[in-house]
Amino acid sequence: MKKYLVLFAVIAMASCTGTRKDNSRDTAEPSDSIQNAELAIDSMELVRKDKLMEITCHLQFIAGNNTAADSINASISQHVLEQERNSNVREAMHRYVKKTYEQNEPEVTEMKSQGEYFADMLFTFEHEGRFLDDTPDSIITYAATSYIYTGGAHGYSSMRYMNFSRKTGHLITLDEVLDLSRQKEIVQLIIRDLMQQFGCNSVQQLEDQGFIGIRDTNVTDNFHIGSRGITFVYNPYEIACYAMGKQSVTLTYQQLKPYMKNGK
Q: For residue 129, give the nearest of 70, 176, 78 by alpha carbon.
A: 78
Are 155 and 30 in a shared domain? yes
Are 152 and 185 in a shared domain?
Answer: no
Q: CB neighbours of 211 closer than 8 A, spacing ≥ 6?
A: 194, 203, 239, 240, 241, 244
Residue where a domain stops, chosen among 134, 153, 172: 172
pLDDT score of 118? 85
The tally of domains found in the chain comes to: 2
N-to-C CA span, the chain:
56
Are residues 95 and 165 both part of a single domain?
Answer: yes
Task: Clarify whether residues 203 and 132 are in a common domain.
Answer: no
For position 243, which CATH number holds? Answer: 3.90.640.20
pLDDT at 117: 82
Domain that holds residue 66: 5-172
CATH of the domain at 41: 3.30.565.40
Q: What is the pLDDT of residue 250?
A: 98
Alpha-carbon radius of gyration of the chain: 20
Burial class (CB in 10 A: 0-12, 13-18, 19+), 72: buried
pLDDT at 35: 43
- Pick from 172, 202, 223: which residue ends a domain? 172
Which residue numbers in the chain have pLDDT < 50? 1-37
